[in-house]
Chains A and B, each alone.
Chain A
């Protein structure tokens, strides 16, 4: 119970830190917010500008704006978009489903590919592993937006296998693959490495000596040992995937939170940016809390771990 509340407090601290930094970055950055709201319209009088500033509380001192934003946040009020003239909550709610669909599909593809590729290539001769590893490295190295363009061109414009745009399930395939490739490329390498190391452990020999076959040793023993680092990394890479949606949604002209964020950042639509940051940071924190909870399930040993003794005289106490 005490651990759970400490966890929650820690999560809120990280969330608050993320929002504060974002708030400062947006307000202290170049360019006036009012200019951004007004846009290219040169006809606007000073009167109108003043009214806009008053409406959004932009005339107040920064610390007051900051505190009142936090105050509203506590009441689950994310504010109103400067650009879209609608509550931020509604704007995000409208864009969230397509993004979640996209990320869900991408995650599924990445996880299945990872498991299949890693299990199929563990302890295989180098003529099988070599090409697969090259593909994995290329998948990580390939700039994601370029991969997206490539997929779009080849499979949509070229081969007409999948529709380029639209909102059917078929149109989800290419953007999801573009998002999944870097993740799968990393995870399958990590998983295979973990499997191979687990297979060299003494307990694997013990299992073989009981009559367990190679496949059985791999699936019943090694897999569980190889999973924890993969799960940690999965949590971290999901954060990267949120970033990836910005690019992929843009290339495939899909609606979604990524494009919403991109437009809000370029248009200085501060409430929307803060709203999206709050959402992604909360998602990240929740997800990693789940990963932490999953750890003891995967590895019961983690319930007890001792600190390593430090050598005296090397710690400058501060």
Chain B
């Protein structure tokens, strides 16, 4: 949950000045594979992810079962592939939702006058005052378990950072020399916003969103782990981890495989996000 709780300026710092490496390429390749799994899982893993086999309970990884089988004799590889859609999509949807809401709240706070600003920022502070995980649990309790719940819960805790960065960007840009120069040439507020404010305010927000997606995927798995995600038997990495934990002592692969896949996913998304940020900063000088 750590990244979701970060203020934006610090998040930007986290991705500056990294040495060049093969990381982004590997991360990109992994994400491409993941995209295939989300769109057409049958290409990577023929067969049903829910097919049980009492003869193959808790089998270790082998040629037949690449990642072994679980307590119901289901093929873990197949479940990982089929679980990608739910596990990753939830993070993407939550981030998109949080981003849109955050941009609206932040822009409203910055542009709609002092009273609106202080009201919106108080709301953001209330959201910050309750730890993200607690908020997520509350949303989950109010809506009942399920994928939609997880999306909404993670979106709610994601709003404050976006709202803050957008508000800060707009305030900074409004006092900037080039906005003053545009005003001096007789440009109205709408055109100033369209030409200077939005193009300059948005990229850092979108990049923050990329990095935030990684955190959201991790958070969604955590909620599933706590039993608030989609109900079994739908494959979902967090839920697989939770079930696997009980059999960990006798069958290490049950929890290890979903854990490693999840970590690689979050790391890849973060790495690509940071890479894009670096590229972006390099392309626009100044």
* A positions within 8 Å CB-CB of B: 13-15, 17-18, 21-22, 25-26, 28-31, 126, 129-130, 133, 137-138, 140-146, 149-150, 153, 157, 182-183, 185-186, 189-190, 193, 229, 232-233, 236-237, 239-244, 246-247, 250-251, 261-262, 265-266, 268, 273, 276-277, 280-281, 284-285, 308-318
Q: B267 to A141, Cβ gap below 8 A?
A: yes
15 contacts between A and B (CB under 8 A): A17-B125, A22-B138, A140-B270, A142-B266, A143-B263, A144-B2, A189-B14, A236-B6, A262-B226, A273-B138, A273-B141, A314-B174, A315-B174, A316-B189, A318-B115
> Does B19 interact with chain A (Cβ within 8 Å)?
yes
Provide the residues of chain A in CB contact with B112, threshold 8 Å. 316, 318
> Does B33 interact with chain A (Cβ within 8 Å)?
no
Pick from B14, B130, B144, B245: contact of A190, CB under 8 Å: B14
Instruction: Given A140-B2, A145-B241, A153-B252, check contact A242 B174 (CB 8 Å).
Output: no
Q: What CA separation (Å) do A246 and B262 show in the bound complex?
A: 20
Q: A137-B274, A140-B270, A141-B3 given; name 19 further pairs at CB < 8 Å.
A: A17-B122, A18-B130, A25-B139, A29-B141, A29-B142, A143-B221, A145-B225, A186-B6, A229-B9, A237-B5, A243-B134, A246-B134, A261-B137, A273-B141, A280-B134, A308-B175, A311-B180, A314-B179, A318-B113
Q: What CA separation (Å) do A30 and B149 show in the bound complex?
A: 12
Q: B113 to A236, Cβ gap below 8 A?
A: no
Q: A17 to B222, Cβ gap below 8 A?
A: no
Instruction: Given A13-B122, A316-B112, check contact A30 B142 (CB 8 Å).
Output: yes
Chain A residue at minimal CB-CB distance from B142: A29
Interface code B104-120, partner A: CB below 8 Å = 1, 0 otherwise? 00000001110110000
Provide the residues of chain B in CB contact with A284, threshold 8 Å. 128-131
Chain B residue at minimal CB-CB distance from A307: B175
Q: A265 to B140, Cβ gap below 8 A?
A: yes
Q: B129 to A232, Cβ gap below 8 A?
A: no
Among B4, B21, B138, the one with the most A-chain Cβ atoms within 10 Å of its Cβ is B138
Instruction: Given A233-B10, A314-B189, check contact A149 B19 (CB 8 Å).
Output: no
Q: B221 to A126, Cβ gap below 8 A?
A: no
Chain A residue at minimal CB-CB distance from B141: A265
Chain A nearest Cβ from B194, distance in angstroms: 12
Provide the residues of chain B in CB contact with A29, threshold 8 Å. 141-144
Q: What CA separation (Å) do A129 and B20 show in the bound complex?
A: 12
Provide the residues of chain A in CB contact with B188, threshold 8 Å. 313
Q: A25 to B142, Cβ gap below 8 A?
A: yes
Q: B131 to A243, Cβ gap below 8 A?
A: yes
Q: What CA separation (Å) do A261 and B135 show in the bound complex?
A: 11
Q: A193 to B13, Cβ gap below 8 A?
A: yes
Chain B nearest Cβ from A310, distance in angstroms: 6
Q: A265 to B137, Cβ gap below 8 A?
A: yes
Q: Is the interface of A mostly helix, strand, loop or mixed?
A: helix
Pick from A31, A126, A143, A262: contact of B262, CB under 8 Å: A143
Q: What CA separation (Å) do A261 and B140 show in the bound complex?
A: 13
Chain B residue at minimal CB-CB distance from A276: B134
Q: B138 to A141, Cβ gap below 8 A?
A: no
Chain A nearest Cβ from B122, distance in angstroms: 7
Chain A residue at minimal CB-CB distance from B5: A240
Pick from A149, A242, A318: contact of B241, CB under 8 Å: A149
Chain A residue at minimal CB-CB distance from B133: A243
Chain A residue at minimal CB-CB distance from B160: A236
Pick from A13, A141, A185, A242: contact of B218, CB under 8 Å: A141
Provide the residues of chain A in CB contact with B255, threshold 8 Å. 149, 153
Closest 6 CB pairs of A and B: A243-B133, A29-B142, A318-B113, A182-B2, A17-B126, A240-B5
Q: A30 to B144, Cβ gap below 8 A?
A: yes
Provide the residues of chain A in CB contact with B10, threshold 8 Å. 186, 190, 229, 233
Chain A nearest Cβ from B131, distance in angstroms: 4
Among B1, B4, B132, B138, the one with the most A-chain Cβ atoms within 10 Å of its Cβ is B1
Q: What CA separation (Å) do A280 and B5 show in the bound complex?
A: 15
Q: What CA separation (Å) do A183 and B266 show in the bound complex?
A: 17
Chain A residue at minimal CB-CB distance from B241: A146
> Does B195 interact with chain A (Cβ within 8 Å)?
no
Question: CB within 8 Å of A: which of B1-45?
Answer: 1-7, 9-10, 13-14, 16-19, 21
